[in-house]
Amino acid sequence: MRDERSLFINIVALLILSVIGFYIYKVSMDTGKGIKITDNITPQMRVADRFMNKNVIKEESKYVWGGTAENTSANIVTSVVVDYRLFDTTLEVIVLFVTILGFGFVIPKDKRKIIKPTTILNRWAPILMILMLMIGGYMFVNGHLSPGGGFPAGAIISTAVLIGVLAGRKTLSQKTLKIIEAVAGISIFSLGIASFVITGNFFQNFILNDRIGDLFSAGLIPIFYGLIAFKVAAELSNIYFEFYEEC
Amino acid sequence: MVNRVYYLGLIIAFIMAFGSLWALLTDDLFKAIVVFGIVSLSSSVMFLLMQAPDVAITEAAIGSGITTALFIFTYKKLEDRKDER
Q: pLDDT (tens digit, 9 = 90+) per residue, A25-52? A: 776 666 555 455 555 555 555 666 666 6
* Closest residue to B69, CB basis, from A148, A152, A162: A162
pLDDT digits (tens, 9 = 90+) for A53-80: 666 666 666 666 665 656 667 777 787 8
What three-state secondary structure class fits A192? helix
Across the interface, whether the CB atoms of A159 and B80 are under 8 A apart is answered: no
- Chain A segment 37-96 residues within 8 A of B by beta carbon are 77
Average model confidence (pLDDT) across chain A: 77
pLDDT digits (tens, 9 = 90+) for A116-151: 778 888 888 888 888 988 888 888 888 777 787 888
Across the interface, whether the CB atoms of B62 and A152 are under 8 A apart is answered: yes
Across the interface, whether the CB atoms of A152 and B65 are under 8 A apart is answered: no
**Is A50 domain-assigned?**
no
Question: Average pLDDT for residues B17-23, to the nearest whole number?
Answer: 91
- Whether the pLDDT of residue A10 is over 80: the answer is yes
Q: How close does chain B come to A170, measured CA to CA in Å?
A: 17
Q: How close does chain B come to A67, measured CA to CA in Å?
A: 24
Pair A91, A122: CB distance under 8 Å: no
Beta strands in chain A (DSSP E): none
pLDDT digits (tens, 9 = 90+) for B40-73: 999 999 988 888 888 888 888 888 888 998 898 8
Model pLDDT, residue A55: 63
Q: Alpha-carbon distance A59 to A223, whole Å? A: 34
Residue among B14, B24, B65 nearest A236 (CA): B65
Domain layout of chain B by residue ranges: 2-84
Across the interface, whether the CB atoms of B76 and A247 are under 8 A apart is answered: yes
**pTM for the complete prediction?**
0.75
* Closest residue to B57, CB basis, from A77, A152, A239: A152
- Whether the pLDDT of residue A181 is over 90: the answer is no
Query: In total, how many domains does chain A have?
Result: 2
Chain B contacts of A151, Cβ < 8 Å?
A: 58
Across the interface, whether the CB atoms of B77 and A247 are under 8 A apart is answered: yes
Tell me the backbone φ, ψ of residue A202, rounded to 5 degrees: -70, 135
Query: In terms of CA atoms, which chain A residue is nearest residue B65?
Result: A159
Chain A contacts of B58, Cβ < 8 Å?
A: 151-152, 155
User: Which residues form the domain of A32?
Assistant: 1-45
Pair B18, B63: CB distance under 8 Å: no
Tell me the backbone φ, ψ of residue A67, rounded to 5 degrees: -105, 15
Asked if the C-beta of A156 comes within 8 angstroms of chain B's C-beta atoms, the answer is yes
Q: Alpha-carbon distance A91 to A54, whole Å? A: 32
Pair A206, A132: CB distance under 8 Å: no
ipTM for the predicted complex comes to: 0.81
Q: How close does chain B come to A151, measured CA to CA in Å?
A: 7
**Is A51 domain-assigned?**
no
Q: Which residues contact A80 (CB under 8 A, 6 or more apart)?
A: A70
* Closest residue to A148, CB basis, from B57, B65, B80: B57
Which residue, among A113, A158, A228, would best test binding to B if mutated, counting the most B CBs under 10 Å from its CB?
A158
Model pLDDT, residue A50: 64
Across the interface, whether the CB atoms of A148 and B76 are under 8 A apart is answered: no
Same domain, A9 and A92: no
Q: Please tell me what DSSP assigns to residue A48.
A: T
Q: Exposure pattern of A232-242 as b/e (b: 16+ CB <10 Å)? A: bbbbbbbbbbb
* Confidence bin at A114 (pLDDT 50/70/90): low
Pair A149, B54: CB distance under 8 Å: yes
Model pLDDT, residue A247: 44
- Whether the pLDDT of residue B17 is over 90: the answer is yes
